[in-house]
Amino acid sequence: MVKDDARKVAVILDTPENRERLAQFEQMAAQDEAKRKASAKMFNPADLMKRASEIREFEHPTLGKIRFGELTLQDSEILRQCKTDADKTAMALYLMLKKAYPEIPAFTPENISGFYAAFPMAEGAELLKFISEQPSFLPQDSASGSAAVEKHKKSA
């Protein structure tokens, strides 16, 4: 009796509508699997190093075409030498732009404040806003995603 019931159910389910639904679900499952495979990341140091040396371009509505490079671990050593947060921001911006525009004057952690002095206010503000939105710019949060730890004040 159980076998007969199973056969009856199989016959009832074997309709053109159900076959079409089954095909749609199989197609959706295949698309989901393809998306999952395409989005899966694979750590590849060679690709990362190649990407770090590439010059990126962006068409900005006010500034026009902006060219810049990503910050690297070596750049973080230079940033560490900067005394203030403002100097670190200026140095990060400078380092990103210097990669694409080697003809701009050289700046060091000691004289980076002069970099801001060279930019007109409107363009400098737009450039800083754009660059600070890039993922390769200085992060606002810690690496773990928690809020940045407050700096201790130096005692006098």
Residue pair 57/66 in contact (Cβ under 8 Å)? The answer is yes
**Predicted local confidence at residue 143, as pLDDT:** 43
Distance CA 107, CA 117 (A): 12
**What is the H or E stretch that residue 125 is in?**
helix 121-132
For 42-100, the pLDDT digits (tens) are 778 888 888 888 999 989 888 899 999 988 999 999 999 999 998 998 999 999 999 99
For 109-138, the pLDDT digits (tens) are 999 989 888 888 888 888 888 877 876 555
- DSSP code of residue 154: P
